[in-house]
Amino acid sequence: MSSLTSLLDGIDRELRATLAACLDGKELGWRRALPLCEAAGRELIALCAVADALRERQAGDTVSYVVNRNINFTNVCVKSCRFCAFSRDHRSEQAYFLDVDEVVRRAVEARELGATEVCLQAGLAPGVGGRYYVELCRALKRALPGLHLHAFSPEEIKYGARLEGMPVRAFLEELKEAGLGSLPGTSAEVLDDAVRARIAPGRITTEEWLNVVGTAHELGIPTTSTLMFGHVETHAERLRHLELLRSIQRETCGFTEFVPLSFVHHEAPMTLRELVPGLRPGPTGNDVIRLFAISRLMLGESIRNIQVSWVKEGLRQAQWLLSCGANDLGGTLMNESISTSAGAAHGQLVTPSALRRLIRDAGREPAERTTLYRIVRRFERDTPDGPDLDPLDRVRSPDAVFGSYDTLVKSSDFRFRLRRKTANPNPFASED
């Protein structure tokens, strides 16, 4: 603490007082946090040091990860969000839809490779009823009763409920009965309707997002929480988003983690077509570091798990963020389509041993966890992996084993075909 005190002594008086108050356990409001968004040089180093000290106090020295697989079962979407490079119109030659059998096959393959979770998120496909979401959960739980289903963004929940003419609560209750374990807290972007109108007009509103997430928490369905940053939002809008998440967590205790998500701009429609004045090409490196550190200061007492998306940040930046307030490296993924389609270049799989090497090199203790942060296995901080590798560590060519997004959108095997809604819960199954 003496070295930290010495570090604080060398920075701006107002920032020093703010960081000292955080160390004393005082709550940080968004207005007082605002100057931290411009921290650079020694001030940025001091901000990170305080965030790291709070991380150690709130979450300990363990850095966790989950062995999971992403299954983005369709890229067809009735909406055209300006930031999304993943979605396709149903008439596109790149439009695909994975039927229930294929989703189950991929989940079984993941389980055999050690996965404890599958994450299901996709576009809002026309012609499929809300029953599809329910039956997909049931089919997966029949095949893999012990697998955790982390599935369906609040936008998908709203869409499925509307298609079935059901209240969100009733739809969530049915999904939970069918085996849904938790919801991704995506489709949040920035919880400010003025921002949302610029980057995704017609998308789920802030009030609707809060309703879905709050209802899920009331029903005992936990969710993650996210923020997509580095596009058109201001520092104040980011910080108010964090403050809103903190207030929800106080009421429900339903968030398992917070995940800052850097905007990947390369293939985003609003970048390529210059649709949004003032658009930034994603956050800078220091901007990412500041956001993670401030997130720990503002959220750590209520949402103690701050997760790094290595898909967005890359492994080297992800490792450094472990010294800036983060304590979790997310999942192994196996497949990744959404960020990849937007131009992210960090791959679709990181093996458990690679994550553990990163964690150990950061001076921390690796641990495999479940979706809900129950520790499955701990690994000695200074002991390298022995010859008994995880099954997933034996995968040398992820694209050859799991298939790539580029291959999927060019394949005719799962080409989307629009059909009328029927009683068949799997209306997009391949025809003989």
Which pLDDT value is given to residue 396?
83
For the purposes of burial, counting CB atoms within 10 Å of the CB of 361, is it exposed (0-12), middle (13-18) or buried (19 or more)? exposed
Which pLDDT value is given to residue 343?
58
Which pLDDT value is given to residue 341?
61
Which pLDDT value is given to residue 1?
60
Q: Is the dihedral of CA 343, 349, 352, 354 positive or negative?
A: negative
pTM for the predicted model, two decimal places: 0.94
In whole angstroms, what separates CA 17 from the centre of its chain? 33
Pick from 211, 177, 235, 202: nearest CA to 30: 235
Tokens of 107: 């989940």
Instruction: Please name the helix (run of DSSP H) or strand (run of DSSP E) that holds residue 401, with its range, or none.
Output: helix 398-402
Domain 54-410: give its CATH code.
3.20.20.70
Which pLDDT value is given to residue 116?
98
Cα dihedral 45→11→33→251 (10° resolution):
70
Which pLDDT value is given to residue 382?
73
Beta strands in 319-423 (DSSP E): 328-331, 365-369, 375-378
Pick from 293, 286, 212: nearest CA to 258: 293
Query: What does the alpha-carbon distance between residue 295 and residue 118 come to, in Å, rounded to a whole number?
Result: 27
Q: Where are the domains of the chain?
A: 54-410
Residues of the chain with pLDDT under 70: 1-2, 337-346, 386-388, 419-432
Please name every residue paired with 229 in a beta bridge, in sequence order, or none if there are none: 262
